[in-house]
Amino acid sequence: MLLRTVRSDARHPGWCGTGCRYLLARIFGTIDGMTSSSALPHSVPVDGVSGTAPSLDASHPLMDGRTADSPLIQAYRGGKPSRRPVWFMRQAGRSLPEYLKVREGVAMLDSCLRPELASEITLQPVRRHGVDAAIFFSDIVIPLKLAGVGVDIVPGVGPVLDKPVRTAADVAALPQLTWDALEPIREAVRLTVAELGTTPLIGFAGAPFTLAAYMVEGKPSRDHLGPRTMMHADPETWTALANWAADASGMFLRAQLEAGASAGQLFDSWAGSLGLADYAKCVAPASTRALDHVRHLGAPLVHFGTGTSELLVAMRDVGVDVVGVDYRLPLDEANRRLGGTVPLQGNIDPALLSAPWEVLEAHVREVIAAGSEAPGHVLNLGHGVPPETDPAVLTRVVELIHSIPAG
Ligand code: 1CP
Protein backbone atom coordinates (compact mmCIF):
# COMPACT_ATOMS: atom_id res chain seq x y z
CA MET A 1 0.00 0.00 0.00
CA LEU A 2 2.87 2.39 0.83
CA LEU A 3 4.52 1.69 -2.51
CA ARG A 4 1.34 2.31 -4.38
CA THR A 5 0.73 5.60 -2.56
CA VAL A 6 4.23 6.87 -3.23
CA ARG A 7 3.84 5.91 -6.86
CA SER A 8 0.56 7.75 -7.25
CA ASP A 9 1.94 10.85 -5.46
CA ALA A 10 4.90 10.83 -7.82
CA ARG A 11 2.43 11.82 -10.51
CA HIS A 12 1.89 15.06 -8.58
CA PRO A 13 5.48 16.12 -7.92
CA GLY A 14 5.93 18.32 -4.90
CA TRP A 15 2.61 17.47 -3.40
CA CYS A 16 1.99 15.66 -0.16
CA GLY A 17 -1.41 16.70 1.16
CA THR A 18 -2.96 15.97 4.51
CA GLY A 19 -4.15 12.57 3.37
CA CYS A 20 -0.61 11.65 2.37
CA ARG A 21 0.88 13.03 5.60
CA TYR A 22 -1.83 11.16 7.45
CA LEU A 23 -1.02 7.92 5.68
CA LEU A 24 2.69 8.22 6.36
CA ALA A 25 1.97 9.08 10.01
CA ARG A 26 -0.25 6.01 10.21
CA ILE A 27 2.47 3.84 8.78
CA PHE A 28 5.29 5.24 10.89
CA GLY A 29 3.54 5.91 14.16
CA THR A 30 1.43 8.79 15.36
CA ILE A 31 -0.75 11.59 14.15
CA ASP A 32 -1.90 14.42 16.42
CA GLY A 33 -1.40 12.34 19.52
CA MET A 34 -3.26 9.27 18.22
CA THR A 35 -1.32 6.07 17.87
CA SER A 36 -1.71 4.38 14.55
CA SER A 37 -3.55 1.53 16.20
CA SER A 38 -6.06 3.88 17.82
CA ALA A 39 -6.53 5.62 14.47
CA LEU A 40 -7.28 2.27 12.83
CA PRO A 41 -8.71 -0.18 15.35
CA HIS A 42 -9.78 -2.62 12.66
CA SER A 43 -8.76 -4.23 9.46
CA VAL A 44 -10.43 -2.88 6.35
CA PRO A 45 -10.65 -4.78 3.10
CA VAL A 46 -9.23 -2.41 0.49
CA ASP A 47 -10.67 -4.21 -2.46
CA GLY A 48 -14.18 -5.53 -2.73
CA VAL A 49 -13.02 -8.30 -5.01
CA SER A 50 -9.45 -9.41 -4.75
CA GLY A 51 -7.91 -7.86 -1.65
CA THR A 52 -5.39 -5.83 -3.66
CA ALA A 53 -5.23 -2.05 -3.77
CA PRO A 54 -4.91 -0.84 -7.36
CA SER A 55 -4.24 2.84 -7.89
CA LEU A 56 -6.14 5.03 -10.34
CA ASP A 57 -5.95 3.92 -13.93
CA ALA A 58 -3.59 5.77 -16.32
CA SER A 59 -6.67 6.85 -18.34
CA HIS A 60 -8.34 8.37 -15.27
CA PRO A 61 -8.98 12.15 -15.68
CA LEU A 62 -6.72 12.89 -12.70
CA MET A 63 -3.89 10.89 -14.24
CA ASP A 64 -4.09 11.65 -17.96
CA GLY A 65 -3.78 15.44 -17.70
CA ARG A 66 -7.46 16.36 -17.93
CA THR A 67 -8.18 17.53 -14.35
CA ALA A 68 -4.94 17.53 -12.31
CA ASP A 69 -4.27 21.19 -13.17
CA SER A 70 -7.88 22.35 -12.99
CA PRO A 71 -8.55 25.26 -10.59
CA LEU A 72 -10.54 22.96 -8.27
CA ILE A 73 -7.86 20.30 -7.90
CA GLN A 74 -5.10 22.91 -7.59
CA ALA A 75 -6.97 24.64 -4.75
CA TYR A 76 -7.77 21.30 -3.06
CA ARG A 77 -4.04 20.55 -3.17
CA GLY A 78 -3.24 23.85 -1.46
CA GLY A 79 -2.28 25.84 -4.56
CA LYS A 80 -3.43 29.25 -5.77
CA PRO A 81 -5.00 28.71 -9.20
CA SER A 82 -5.35 31.57 -11.68
CA ARG A 83 -9.14 31.45 -11.30
CA ARG A 84 -11.10 30.98 -8.05
CA PRO A 85 -12.94 27.65 -8.21
CA VAL A 86 -16.61 27.47 -7.23
CA TRP A 87 -19.29 24.78 -7.12
CA PHE A 88 -22.47 24.41 -5.06
CA MET A 89 -23.51 21.58 -2.78
CA ARG A 90 -26.84 20.24 -4.09
CA GLN A 91 -26.33 22.01 -7.43
CA ALA A 92 -27.65 18.89 -9.19
CA GLY A 93 -31.27 17.96 -8.84
CA ARG A 94 -32.90 20.95 -7.25
CA SER A 95 -34.95 23.65 -8.93
CA LEU A 96 -33.51 23.53 -12.43
CA PRO A 97 -36.38 23.26 -14.96
CA GLU A 98 -34.29 20.87 -17.07
CA TYR A 99 -33.95 18.63 -13.98
CA LEU A 100 -37.67 18.63 -13.20
CA LYS A 101 -38.33 17.75 -16.84
CA VAL A 102 -36.08 14.67 -16.98
CA ARG A 103 -37.26 13.48 -13.53
CA GLU A 104 -40.96 13.48 -14.53
CA GLY A 105 -42.47 10.14 -13.52
CA VAL A 106 -39.17 8.71 -12.25
CA ALA A 107 -38.72 8.02 -8.54
CA MET A 108 -35.66 9.64 -6.93
CA LEU A 109 -33.66 6.47 -6.22
CA ASP A 110 -34.55 5.00 -9.62
CA SER A 111 -33.18 8.15 -11.27
CA CYS A 112 -29.88 7.59 -9.42
CA LEU A 113 -29.65 4.02 -10.75
CA ARG A 114 -30.26 4.82 -14.43
CA PRO A 115 -26.75 5.70 -15.60
CA GLU A 116 -27.74 7.92 -18.57
CA LEU A 117 -30.20 9.87 -16.43
CA ALA A 118 -27.87 10.28 -13.44
CA SER A 119 -25.15 11.44 -15.81
CA GLU A 120 -27.42 13.96 -17.56
CA ILE A 121 -28.55 15.45 -14.20
CA THR A 122 -24.92 15.67 -13.05
CA LEU A 123 -23.99 17.63 -16.19
CA GLN A 124 -26.93 20.07 -16.16
CA PRO A 125 -25.57 22.59 -13.60
CA VAL A 126 -22.12 22.55 -15.23
CA ARG A 127 -23.63 23.53 -18.58
CA ARG A 128 -25.93 26.13 -17.08
CA HIS A 129 -23.75 27.83 -14.45
CA GLY A 130 -20.18 27.23 -15.66
CA VAL A 131 -19.17 25.91 -12.22
CA ASP A 132 -15.66 24.49 -11.76
CA ALA A 133 -16.83 21.00 -10.77
CA ALA A 134 -19.66 18.57 -11.22
CA ILE A 135 -21.02 16.76 -8.15
CA PHE A 136 -22.24 13.28 -8.93
CA PHE A 137 -26.04 13.01 -8.85
CA SER A 138 -26.86 10.27 -6.39
CA ASP A 139 -27.77 10.05 -2.72
CA ILE A 140 -26.09 8.96 0.48
CA VAL A 141 -28.62 6.11 0.89
CA ILE A 142 -27.84 4.54 -2.52
CA PRO A 143 -25.31 2.10 -0.95
CA LEU A 144 -28.09 0.89 1.38
CA LYS A 145 -30.44 0.39 -1.55
CA LEU A 146 -27.76 -1.47 -3.55
CA ALA A 147 -26.97 -3.68 -0.56
CA GLY A 148 -30.64 -4.71 -0.45
CA VAL A 149 -31.81 -2.64 2.53
CA GLY A 150 -35.43 -1.52 2.11
CA VAL A 151 -35.16 2.27 1.71
CA ASP A 152 -36.93 4.91 -0.32
CA ILE A 153 -36.80 8.67 -0.67
CA VAL A 154 -40.23 10.02 0.08
CA PRO A 155 -40.88 13.33 -1.72
CA GLY A 156 -40.95 16.20 0.78
CA VAL A 157 -39.59 13.96 3.56
CA GLY A 158 -36.28 12.35 2.62
CA PRO A 159 -34.89 8.85 3.23
CA VAL A 160 -37.30 6.40 4.92
CA LEU A 161 -36.40 2.78 5.78
CA ASP A 162 -38.89 -0.10 5.73
CA LYS A 163 -37.52 -1.18 9.11
CA PRO A 164 -35.28 0.89 11.43
CA VAL A 165 -32.00 -0.73 12.56
CA ARG A 166 -31.98 -0.66 16.38
CA THR A 167 -30.73 -3.92 17.88
CA ALA A 168 -27.65 -6.14 17.62
CA ALA A 169 -29.79 -8.63 15.66
CA ASP A 170 -30.91 -5.88 13.25
CA VAL A 171 -27.27 -4.96 12.58
CA ALA A 172 -26.20 -8.59 12.19
CA ALA A 173 -28.98 -9.10 9.63
CA LEU A 174 -27.83 -6.22 7.40
CA PRO A 175 -26.88 -7.48 3.92
CA GLN A 176 -23.36 -6.78 2.67
CA LEU A 177 -22.88 -4.43 -0.27
CA THR A 178 -21.05 -6.15 -3.11
CA TRP A 179 -18.68 -4.60 -5.62
CA ASP A 180 -20.81 -5.89 -8.53
CA ALA A 181 -23.93 -4.12 -7.24
CA LEU A 182 -22.12 -0.79 -7.70
CA GLU A 183 -21.88 -1.20 -11.49
CA PRO A 184 -24.68 1.35 -12.28
CA ILE A 185 -22.69 3.91 -10.29
CA ARG A 186 -19.46 3.19 -12.15
CA GLU A 187 -21.30 3.34 -15.48
CA ALA A 188 -22.91 6.71 -14.66
CA VAL A 189 -19.51 8.11 -13.64
CA ARG A 190 -17.86 6.82 -16.84
CA LEU A 191 -20.57 8.44 -19.00
CA THR A 192 -20.23 11.69 -17.07
CA VAL A 193 -16.45 12.10 -17.20
CA ALA A 194 -16.50 11.30 -20.92
CA GLU A 195 -18.54 14.52 -21.33
CA LEU A 196 -16.84 16.70 -18.73
CA GLY A 197 -13.44 17.10 -20.39
CA THR A 198 -11.24 19.19 -18.08
CA THR A 199 -13.95 19.86 -15.49
CA PRO A 200 -13.47 17.53 -12.52
CA LEU A 201 -16.25 15.32 -11.16
CA ILE A 202 -16.56 15.17 -7.37
CA GLY A 203 -17.74 11.85 -5.95
CA PHE A 204 -19.34 11.70 -2.52
CA ALA A 205 -20.66 9.49 0.24
CA GLY A 206 -22.46 9.91 3.54
CA ALA A 207 -20.29 9.66 6.63
CA PRO A 208 -21.15 6.72 8.90
CA PHE A 209 -22.84 8.86 11.58
CA THR A 210 -25.15 10.65 9.14
CA LEU A 211 -26.00 7.40 7.37
CA ALA A 212 -26.51 5.52 10.64
CA ALA A 213 -28.69 8.36 11.93
CA TYR A 214 -31.22 7.60 9.15
CA MET A 215 -30.86 3.86 9.76
CA VAL A 216 -31.58 4.03 13.50
CA GLU A 217 -34.36 6.61 13.27
CA GLY A 218 -35.76 5.05 10.10
CA LYS A 219 -36.41 8.56 8.76
CA PRO A 220 -35.10 12.14 8.98
CA SER A 221 -35.00 13.53 12.51
CA ARG A 222 -34.00 16.80 14.10
CA ASP A 223 -31.89 15.84 17.12
CA HIS A 224 -30.77 12.30 16.15
CA LEU A 225 -31.62 11.01 19.61
CA GLY A 226 -31.75 7.35 18.52
CA PRO A 227 -28.13 7.03 17.35
CA ARG A 228 -26.88 9.23 20.18
CA THR A 229 -28.60 7.00 22.73
CA MET A 230 -27.31 3.83 21.03
CA MET A 231 -23.64 4.89 21.11
CA HIS A 232 -23.80 5.04 24.93
CA ALA A 233 -26.49 2.48 25.79
CA ASP A 234 -25.24 -0.26 23.45
CA PRO A 235 -21.75 0.73 22.25
CA GLU A 236 -21.02 -2.66 20.66
CA THR A 237 -24.10 -2.51 18.46
CA TRP A 238 -23.31 1.12 17.62
CA THR A 239 -19.76 0.24 16.58
CA ALA A 240 -20.99 -2.65 14.42
CA LEU A 241 -23.56 -0.39 12.74
CA ALA A 242 -21.08 2.47 12.21
CA ASN A 243 -18.57 0.02 10.71
CA TRP A 244 -21.22 -1.42 8.38
CA ALA A 245 -22.10 2.10 7.23
CA ALA A 246 -18.39 2.98 6.88
CA ASP A 247 -17.73 0.05 4.57
CA ALA A 248 -20.86 0.67 2.47
CA SER A 249 -20.05 4.38 2.08
CA GLY A 250 -16.35 3.66 1.51
CA MET A 251 -17.12 1.21 -1.31
CA PHE A 252 -19.63 3.65 -2.85
CA LEU A 253 -17.01 6.43 -2.86
CA ARG A 254 -14.32 4.12 -4.15
CA ALA A 255 -16.50 3.04 -7.07
CA GLN A 256 -16.95 6.70 -8.08
CA LEU A 257 -13.26 7.57 -7.74
CA GLU A 258 -12.01 4.53 -9.63
CA ALA A 259 -14.51 5.10 -12.43
CA GLY A 260 -13.39 8.70 -12.99
CA ALA A 261 -14.22 11.12 -10.16
CA SER A 262 -11.24 13.39 -9.41
CA ALA A 263 -12.05 14.20 -5.76
CA GLY A 264 -14.28 12.80 -3.03
CA GLN A 265 -16.41 14.48 -0.39
CA LEU A 266 -17.61 12.82 2.80
CA PHE A 267 -20.86 14.43 4.00
CA ASP A 268 -21.37 14.26 7.77
CA SER A 269 -24.32 16.60 7.54
CA TRP A 270 -25.69 15.83 10.99
CA ALA A 271 -22.41 15.51 12.98
CA GLY A 272 -23.18 18.92 14.48
CA SER A 273 -25.64 17.24 16.84
CA LEU A 274 -22.66 15.64 18.62
CA GLY A 275 -20.33 17.03 21.27
CA LEU A 276 -16.61 16.75 20.59
CA ALA A 277 -16.09 13.86 23.03
CA ASP A 278 -18.80 11.71 21.44
CA TYR A 279 -17.60 12.64 17.95
CA ALA A 280 -13.97 11.73 18.68
CA LYS A 281 -14.78 8.46 20.48
CA CYS A 282 -17.85 7.07 18.73
CA VAL A 283 -17.83 8.56 15.23
CA ALA A 284 -14.38 9.65 13.99
CA PRO A 285 -12.95 6.08 13.91
CA ALA A 286 -15.77 4.99 11.59
CA SER A 287 -15.25 8.02 9.31
CA THR A 288 -11.55 7.13 9.18
CA ARG A 289 -12.55 3.60 8.23
CA ALA A 290 -14.80 4.85 5.41
CA LEU A 291 -11.93 6.90 3.96
CA ASP A 292 -9.51 4.00 4.34
CA HIS A 293 -11.30 2.50 1.33
CA VAL A 294 -10.08 5.36 -0.89
CA ARG A 295 -7.09 7.24 0.48
CA HIS A 296 -4.61 5.01 -1.37
CA LEU A 297 -6.08 6.36 -4.64
CA GLY A 298 -4.46 9.77 -4.02
CA ALA A 299 -7.49 11.90 -5.03
CA PRO A 300 -8.16 14.93 -2.78
CA LEU A 301 -10.67 14.22 -0.01
CA VAL A 302 -13.04 16.79 1.51
CA HIS A 303 -14.97 16.48 4.79
CA PHE A 304 -18.09 18.58 5.41
CA GLY A 305 -20.73 18.82 8.11
CA THR A 306 -23.17 21.41 9.42
CA GLY A 307 -23.04 22.90 12.91
CA THR A 308 -19.53 21.50 13.19
CA SER A 309 -17.58 24.63 14.21
CA GLU A 310 -16.38 22.85 17.37
CA LEU A 311 -15.49 19.65 15.48
CA LEU A 312 -13.39 21.06 12.64
CA VAL A 313 -10.03 19.86 13.96
CA ALA A 314 -11.38 16.39 14.73
CA MET A 315 -12.96 16.23 11.29
CA ARG A 316 -9.63 17.11 9.67
CA ASP A 317 -7.93 14.47 11.77
CA VAL A 318 -9.92 11.60 10.26
CA GLY A 319 -7.44 12.19 7.43
CA VAL A 320 -8.68 14.57 4.76
CA ASP A 321 -7.08 17.18 2.51
CA VAL A 322 -9.82 19.82 2.66
CA VAL A 323 -12.35 20.88 5.30
CA GLY A 324 -15.78 22.17 4.26
CA VAL A 325 -17.10 24.88 6.56
CA ASP A 326 -20.78 25.63 7.03
CA TYR A 327 -22.23 29.17 6.97
CA ARG A 328 -22.01 29.69 10.75
CA LEU A 329 -18.25 30.20 11.10
CA PRO A 330 -16.25 32.84 9.14
CA LEU A 331 -13.45 31.21 7.14
CA ASP A 332 -10.69 33.26 8.81
CA GLU A 333 -11.78 31.84 12.18
CA ALA A 334 -12.04 28.32 10.71
CA ASN A 335 -8.52 28.71 9.34
CA ARG A 336 -7.27 29.90 12.73
CA ARG A 337 -8.86 26.91 14.48
CA LEU A 338 -7.24 24.56 11.97
CA GLY A 339 -3.85 26.23 12.38
CA GLY A 340 -3.67 27.16 8.70
CA THR A 341 -3.06 23.50 7.85
CA VAL A 342 -5.71 22.71 5.24
CA PRO A 343 -7.47 24.28 2.27
CA LEU A 344 -11.05 25.29 3.06
CA GLN A 345 -14.29 24.99 1.13
CA GLY A 346 -17.30 27.26 1.69
CA ASN A 347 -19.19 29.14 2.97
CA ILE A 348 -21.68 31.49 1.30
CA ASP A 349 -24.84 31.57 3.42
CA PRO A 350 -27.59 29.86 1.36
CA ALA A 351 -30.13 32.22 2.95
CA LEU A 352 -28.52 35.17 1.14
CA LEU A 353 -29.21 33.64 -2.29
CA SER A 354 -32.69 35.15 -1.87
CA ALA A 355 -31.43 38.55 -0.65
CA PRO A 356 -31.10 41.60 -2.96
CA TRP A 357 -28.10 41.23 -5.29
CA GLU A 358 -26.10 44.03 -3.56
CA VAL A 359 -26.40 42.21 -0.23
CA LEU A 360 -25.40 38.88 -1.76
CA GLU A 361 -22.48 40.39 -3.71
CA ALA A 362 -21.09 42.07 -0.58
CA HIS A 363 -21.37 38.74 1.28
CA VAL A 364 -19.59 36.79 -1.48
CA ARG A 365 -16.74 39.34 -1.41
CA GLU A 366 -16.53 38.98 2.38
CA VAL A 367 -16.32 35.20 2.09
CA ILE A 368 -13.49 35.54 -0.46
CA ALA A 369 -11.60 37.94 1.83
CA ALA A 370 -12.10 35.67 4.87
CA GLY A 371 -10.81 32.67 2.93
CA SER A 372 -7.73 34.41 1.58
CA GLU A 373 -5.41 33.32 4.42
CA ALA A 374 -6.23 29.61 4.06
CA PRO A 375 -3.72 27.44 2.16
CA GLY A 376 -6.35 27.05 -0.58
CA HIS A 377 -9.98 28.10 -0.98
CA VAL A 378 -12.82 26.62 -3.01
CA LEU A 379 -15.95 28.75 -3.00
CA ASN A 380 -19.16 26.93 -2.14
CA LEU A 381 -22.28 27.41 -0.07
CA GLY A 382 -22.34 26.82 3.68
CA HIS A 383 -24.91 24.04 3.01
CA GLY A 384 -26.97 22.93 0.00
CA VAL A 385 -28.78 25.06 -2.56
CA PRO A 386 -32.29 25.77 -1.16
CA PRO A 387 -34.92 24.28 -3.52
CA GLU A 388 -36.58 27.67 -4.15
CA THR A 389 -33.35 29.32 -5.38
CA ASP A 390 -33.55 31.21 -8.67
CA PRO A 391 -30.99 29.42 -10.90
CA ALA A 392 -30.05 32.78 -12.50
CA VAL A 393 -28.71 33.93 -9.13
CA LEU A 394 -26.34 30.95 -8.96
CA THR A 395 -25.06 31.71 -12.47
CA ARG A 396 -24.48 35.34 -11.46
CA VAL A 397 -22.59 34.29 -8.33
CA VAL A 398 -20.29 32.11 -10.48
CA GLU A 399 -19.69 35.02 -12.88
CA LEU A 400 -18.93 37.35 -9.97
CA ILE A 401 -16.43 34.92 -8.40
CA HIS A 402 -14.68 34.33 -11.72
CA SER A 403 -14.51 38.09 -12.40
CA ILE A 404 -12.56 38.84 -9.20
CA PRO A 405 -8.84 38.53 -9.92
CA ALA A 406 -7.24 35.70 -7.92
CA GLY A 407 -4.90 37.24 -5.33
O1 1CP B 1 -26.25 18.18 -6.23
C2 1CP B 1 -25.81 17.39 -5.42
O3 1CP B 1 -25.28 17.77 -4.36
C4 1CP B 1 -25.77 15.89 -5.77
C5 1CP B 1 -26.88 15.14 -5.35
C6 1CP B 1 -27.13 14.79 -3.88
C7 1CP B 1 -26.26 14.73 -2.79
C8 1CP B 1 -24.80 15.13 -2.69
C9 1CP B 1 -28.40 14.37 -3.45
C10 1CP B 1 -29.58 14.27 -4.31
N11 1CP B 1 -28.29 13.99 -2.14
C12 1CP B 1 -27.01 14.23 -1.69
C13 1CP B 1 -26.45 13.94 -0.37
C14 1CP B 1 -27.37 13.85 0.78
N15 1CP B 1 -28.57 13.19 0.87
C16 1CP B 1 -27.07 14.38 2.06
C17 1CP B 1 -25.79 15.10 2.39
C18 1CP B 1 -25.80 16.49 1.86
C19 1CP B 1 -26.66 17.50 2.56
O20 1CP B 1 -26.57 17.63 3.79
O21 1CP B 1 -27.40 18.20 1.86
C22 1CP B 1 -28.14 14.08 2.91
C23 1CP B 1 -28.28 14.44 4.36
C24 1CP B 1 -29.08 13.32 2.15
C25 1CP B 1 -30.34 12.73 2.63
C26 1CP B 1 -31.48 13.26 1.87
N27 1CP B 1 -31.81 12.82 0.62
C28 1CP B 1 -32.36 14.31 2.21
C29 1CP B 1 -32.33 15.13 3.50
C30 1CP B 1 -33.44 14.71 4.41
C31 1CP B 1 -33.30 15.30 5.81
O32 1CP B 1 -32.87 14.55 6.71
O33 1CP B 1 -33.59 16.48 5.99
C34 1CP B 1 -33.25 14.47 1.14
C35 1CP B 1 -34.37 15.44 1.01
C36 1CP B 1 -32.87 13.53 0.13
C37 1CP B 1 -33.47 13.35 -1.20
C38 1CP B 1 -32.67 13.93 -2.28
N39 1CP B 1 -31.32 13.65 -2.52
C40 1CP B 1 -30.91 14.33 -3.65
C41 1CP B 1 -32.05 15.03 -4.15
C42 1CP B 1 -32.04 15.85 -5.40
C43 1CP B 1 -33.12 14.78 -3.28
C44 1CP B 1 -34.55 15.29 -3.41
C45 1CP B 1 -35.20 14.45 -4.44
C46 1CP B 1 -36.65 14.44 -4.49
O47 1CP B 1 -37.34 14.44 -3.46
O48 1CP B 1 -37.13 14.39 -5.66
Q: What is the pTM of this model?
A: 0.89
Q: Is 158 in the pocket of ligand 1 (CB under 6 A)?
A: yes
Q: Beta 377-381 vs 344-348: how paired, if at all?
A: parallel
- What is the set of active-site residues? 90, 94, 103, 139, 214
pLDDT tens track of the chain, all 407 residues? Answer: 333 332 233 333 333 444 444 444 443 333 333 333 333 333 344 444 434 456 899 999 999 999 999 999 999 999 999 999 999 999 998 879 999 999 999 999 999 999 999 999 999 999 999 999 999 999 999 999 999 999 999 999 999 999 999 999 999 999 999 999 999 999 999 999 999 999 999 999 999 999 999 999 999 999 999 999 999 999 999 999 999 999 999 999 999 999 999 999 999 999 999 999 999 999 999 999 999 999 999 999 999 999 999 999 999 999 999 999 999 999 999 999 999 999 999 999 999 999 999 999 999 999 999 999 999 999 999 999 999 999 999 999 999 999 999 87
Q: Is 108 in the pocket of ligand 1 (CB under 6 A)?
A: yes
Compute the half-sphere exposure of residue 82: CA atoms within 13 Å on the CB side of its CA. 2
Rounded distance between C-alpha atoms, residue 229 and residue 320, angstroms: 28
Q: Is 304 in the pocket of ligand 1 (CB under 6 A)?
A: no
Q: Which own/partner pairs from 150-159 qualify as long-range (CB within 8 Å, at least 24 positions apart)?
A: 151/109, 152/107, 152/109, 153/107, 153/108, 153/109, 155/108, 157/219, 157/220, 158/214, 158/219, 158/220, 159/214, 159/219, 159/220
Residue 245: which CATH number? 3.20.20.210
Residue 180 confidence (pLDDT): 98
Residue 3 confidence (pLDDT): 31
- Measured by CA distance, the residue closest to atom 35 of ligand 1 is 158
- Measured by CA distance, the residue closest to atom 9 of ligand 1 is 139
Cα dihedral angle (310, 316, 322, 323), rounded to 10 degrees?
-10
Total number of domains in the chain: 1
Q: Beta 322-324 vs 134-135: how paired, if at all?
A: unpaired
Instruction: Give the range of the structural domain holding residue 358, as residue numbers without chain letter.
Output: 2-403
**Number of the ligand 1 atom closest to the C-alpha atom of 91:** 1
Q: Is 264 in the pocket of ligand 1 (CB under 6 A)?
A: no
Q: How far is the CA of 402 from the centre of ligand 1 (A)?
A: 27
Q: How far is the CA of 89 from the centre of ligand 1 (A)?
A: 10
Rounded distance between C-alpha atoms, residue 83 and residue 70, angstroms: 9
- Measured by CA distance, the residue closest to atom 29 of ligand 1 is 158
Q: Is 217 in the pocket of ligand 1 (CB under 6 A)?
A: no
